[in-house]
Amino acid sequence: MTANANDSLLAAAKQALRSGAHDQAITALEQFLASHPAHAEALMLAAQALRYFNRNDRIVELYARAAGTQTPDPEVLAGYVEALIADGQLDRARDVAQSAIAAHPDVSRLHLLYAHTDLALGNQDAARAVFWTWLEKDPDNTDCAYQLGQIVPDEELPKLSAALDLMWKDKDSRDAWNAATLGYAYGRAAERMKDFEKAWEGYSFGAAKRRSVTHFDEPTFARTPEQHGKLFNAANPIPFEDEKPGAGFVFIVSLPRSGSTLVEQILDAHSAVTAIGEQPFAYNTVGYWHNTFGPTLPKLLGPEALKAARECYIAAARAASGQDGVVIVDKSITNYVFLGFLRTILPGARFIHVVRHPLDTAISCLTTSFFAGNEWTYSLEEIGRHVRRYEKLMLHWMSQWPDDILTVRYEDLVQRPEDLSKQIVAFCGLEWDPACLKFHESDRAILTASINQVRQPIYQSAMGRAAKYEAHLGPLIAAMGRRAADPNWFLPKEERR
């Protein structure tokens, strides 16, 4: 391939990424990397494209190749550490970060990523010390300010707020990503100090900046849930219904920021349970099933295709659990889209559906700076439409397989933790284990946006959060609709209160 052709491929990949055409970007980059296998920029671009598909395994591989070049750039090393963290390889991430810090001691991002592994492992004091050290070295470091906003004790909030006020003065001159991080940090600190108008200013600014640099094709995004809702229902024949091959598998599904990590931690504390976290196994299984046996429905819904899909998922989940004879909990919450598919290939599986007041969930999504994915969370209107679609699909699944889906209200769980925890454990076919109420003492790594909350005993302060921002919620409620905004949307009409 000529140099001009290679340059054209790289340029095409960059343009595809800018326009949100991730598949096209990956295709162009694979062609480019075939002749330039150690091209660091192309490897990083390919990792960026794959992040859209939650392919952490491939992202780690690409960064490992980039980091293996003769003189890896510190940004390449930082990307490698970040990918390892996202893939749950915390020990490896710490090793790579330590080596990178030794080679590049003045690169703050490497120190901050190492501190992030401390957070994931529950070493909050060590992480906080690092963030304060680097904020004092660089008073304009928005990453430090954002992390500190999540973890500093109340007595340190005035110091952090003063630093953020200085940064805020030039918010409009910053690049979009830096400005977005500042907005979320500014909002979080102000909310913790109970200045809710100032908090809203920060959060809405941060979300708008993220929307300005994040591609989101809503019609395409909405297509898969709609297709799955039409395709799967209890009337479809399930070739191995009597075998119950899904026994021992539990799927936690919900919207983000609804309490799913809390439920996962409660279950993972049980001696007979292994939680495998947020894995792309169901997504990958759907892709394998469709690409291998599709696109005609008779083949897709035939016993050969469904059995192959079943074996694909089970092999991946069991390998991730590393144990035999335990209940495996998969907390990839977006599996609500594939619930019908999973129930079809895994009869006997249990589905725990975690719900929270829709407005509280929506505000928590808007005010969270997600590492990747959840591109619908940067606009009140987009959040409202997404919540409505999610509720419609979940109502369909609940009508089809009511005995296999347990809906757990977050507000009930935090008010009556023992009662609800016992109900959850029993639904999974397990005997009660008192350790489930001591989930916050676990040393298990946490990598979700709830990284700090689940290190604490159950608390109720997150209830009613949306009420603090009531004056701003008109566009959200209009897009969501009154039914979807009802906290009892999942109950039969006669049971709503």
Q: What is the percent of the chain where pLDDT is above 90?
A: 66
Q: In the predicted model, is pLDDT for residue 455 greater than 50?
A: no
pLDDT at residue 456 is higher than 60: no
Q: What's the pLDDT at 48?
A: 83
For 39, the token pair is 């091209």
C-alpha pair distances (Å), 25 with each of 4, 43, 259, 436: 18, 12, 35, 45
Interval 324-329 mean pLDDT? 88
Query: What pLDDT score was predicted for residue 443?
Result: 58
Write the CA distances from 414 to 67, 182, 406, 418, integer angstroms: 44, 31, 17, 9
Residue 134: C-alpha distances to residues 183, 193, 258, 386 (Å): 19, 23, 32, 38
Q: Please check whether residue 127 is in contact with residue 118, taking contact to mean a CB–CB distance below 8 angstroms.
A: yes
Look at residue 18 and tell me whether its pLDDT is greater than 90.
no
Rounded-to-integer distance, Cα 337 and Cα 386, Å: 12
CA angle 227, 362, 285 (to 5 degrees): 35
User: Using one digit for the tens of pLDDT, what is the confidence trace for 403-444?
Assistant: 999 999 999 999 999 999 999 999 999 999 999 998 777 655
In this prediction, residue 194 has a pLDDT band, given cuts at 50, 70 and 90, of very high
Model confidence band, residue 256 (pLDDT cutoffs 50, 70, 90) = very high
pLDDT of residue 458: 53
Percentage of the residues of the chain whose pLDDT score is greater than 70: 93
Per-residue pLDDT at 420: 97
Question: With 60 as the cut, is the pLDDT of residue 461 above it?
Answer: no
pLDDT of residue 94: 93
Span 200-252, pLDDT tens digits: 999 999 999 999 988 888 999 999 999 999 999 888 767 777 778 899 999 99
- Greatest distance between any 2 Cα atoms in the chain: 70
pLDDT band at 457 (very low <50, low <70, confident <90, very high): low
* Position 450 pLDDT exceeds 70: no
pLDDT at 67 over 50: yes
- State the chain's mean pLDDT as an integer: 90
> Taking the CB of residue 422, how many other CB atoms lie within 10 A of it?
15
Q: Which is more confident, 104 or 238?
A: 104
Query: Would you state the pLDDT for residue 2?
Result: 67
Higher per-residue pLDDT: 85 or 323: 85
* Structure confidence at residue 336 (pLDDT): 98
pLDDT band at 126 (very low <50, low <70, confident <90, very high): very high
What was the pLDDT predicted at 305?
A: 94
**Domains with residue ranges and CATH for the chain:** 1-120 (1.25.40.10), 134-213 (no CATH), 218-495 (3.40.50.300)
For the segment 9-28, the average pLDDT, to the nearest whole number, is 86
Burial of 238 (0-12, 13-18, 19+ CB in 10 A): middle
Q: Does 494 or 415 have the greater pLDDT score?
A: 415
Reported as a single tens digit per residue, the pLDDT across 267-309 is 999 999 999 999 889 999 999 999 999 888 889 999 999 999 9
Which residues make Cβ contacts (< 8 Å) with residue 371, sequence separation at least 6? 86
Which pLDDT score is estimated for 273?
A: 96
Question: Is the pLDDT confidence value at 490 over 90?
Answer: yes
Tens of pLDDT, residue by residue over 26-38, are 888 889 888 888 8
pLDDT over threshold 80, residue 462: no
